[in-house]
């Protein structure tokens, strides 16, 4: 396991603030040893929680052009047929994954291919499970076209706590399945849109492992 580059500044600033708090407590209240211990323990726990948020686990990733893998860790909260109006302008099957603050927050490319479309949308910060978060919240939309001509769309969506989305792709990029495409800080959601003839491989409330769990299998031919 390694730590993600998106967390270096936050972890450094957090460590400095916690150090100053503990130093000030010892300096200003030298006789309150019990308070010193409590603050130290709470500081260690808080710093551990921050560090674990930016962890990047080592995994046996999935590489199969006929299968769409989960772009993030989390829980499946939506599986339904919808009309995708930004790019496809037509019906698709939507699979939504909610990421809690305890999940790994790296985002991976769900399929190999060429980035046909990318757009960043500023927006609101509704809770990630709100039905309108997919269209009203701050978000990115990415469409990858496989070598077979199948297009998969997925969205990084900010939540009420997540206020920063990072992405490492742009239109024209050739991307490989299960490689990093971005990061969302502190709880959020990712929506994936697949063709109607794709076979869904997950159920509601299933836990997903980013870059490993198979969300859907694409129709052959």
> Residues 56-74: what's their mean pLDDT?
89
Give 7-24 pLDDT, tens digit per residue.
Answer: 788 889 999 999 999 998
Predicted pLDDT at 62 = 80
pLDDT at residue 162 above 60?
Answer: no
| pLDDT over 60 at 182, yes or no | yes
The whole model's pTM is what? 0.83
Average pLDDT over residues 115-122: 95
Mean pLDDT along residues 158-162: 66
pLDDT above 90 (res 191):
yes
pLDDT of residue 133: 58
- Res 124: pLDDT: 66
What's the chain's average pLDDT? 88
Per-residue pLDDT band at 128 (split at 50, 70, 90): low
Residue 10, both tokens: 């936050």
3-state secondary structure of 16: helix
Calpha distance 85→91 (Å, rounded)? 9
Selected residue with higher pLDDT from 125 and 53: 53
Q: Which residue has the higher pLDDT, 119 or 123?
A: 119
Mean pLDDT value of segment 82-92 = 96
For the beta sheet containing 106-108, the strands, ordered from the edge strand earlier in sequence to the opposite edge, are: 106-108, 180-184, 165-167
Does 50 have pLDDT greater than 90?
A: no
Which of 35-39, 77-81, 189-193 shows the lowest per-residue confidence on average (mean pLDDT)?
Answer: 35-39
Confidence label for 134 from pLDDT (cuts 50, 70 and 90):
low
Answer CATH for 67-217 from 2.40.128, 2.60.40, 2.70.70, 1.10.3470 = 2.70.70
134 in catalytic set: no
Q: What are the residue ranges spanned by the domains of the chain?
A: 2-56, 67-217
**Phi, psi dihedral angles at 151 (to 5 degrees):** -110, 130
Is it the case that residue 129 has pLDDT exceeding 60? no
> CA nearest 158: which of 180, 181, 191?
191
Q: Is the pLDDT of residue 81 over 70?
A: yes
**At how many degrees (to 10) do helices 33-53 and 8-28 cross?**
180
Sequence-ordered strand ranges (E) for 85-134: 90-99, 106-108, 113-121
pLDDT given for residue 127 in this prediction: 61
Catalytic residue, chosen from 96, 134, 178, 188, is 188
Greater model confidence, 15 or 62:
15
């Amino acid at each position: 396991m390694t730590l993600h580059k998106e967390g270096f500044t936050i972890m450094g600033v957090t460590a400095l603030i916690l150090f100053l708090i503990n130093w000030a407590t010892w300096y200003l209240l030298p006789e309150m040893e019990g308070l010193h211990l409590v603050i130290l323990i709470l500081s260690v726990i808080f710093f551990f929680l921050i560090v674990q948020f930016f962890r990047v686990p080592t995994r046996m990733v999935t590489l199969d052009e006929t299968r769409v893998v989960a772009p993030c860790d989390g829980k499946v909260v939506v599986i339904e047929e919808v009309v995708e109006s930004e790019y496809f302008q037509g019906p698709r099957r939507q699979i939504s994954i909610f990421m809690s603050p305890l999940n790994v927050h790296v985002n991976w490319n769900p399929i190999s291919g060429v980035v046909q479309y990318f757009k960043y949308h500023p927006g609101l910060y509704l809770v990630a499970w709100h039905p309108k978060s997919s269209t009203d919240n701050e978000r990115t939309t990415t469409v990858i076209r496989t070598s077979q001509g199948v297009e998969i769309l997925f969205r990084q969506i900010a939540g009420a706590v997540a206020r920063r989305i990072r992405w490492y792709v742009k239109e024209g990029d050739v991307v490989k399945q299960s490689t990093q495409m971005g990061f969302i800080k502190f709880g959020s959601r990712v929506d994936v849109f697949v063709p109607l003839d794709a076979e869904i491989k997950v159920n509601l409330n299933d836990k997903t492992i980013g870059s490993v769990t198979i969300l859907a299998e694409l129709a052959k031919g």
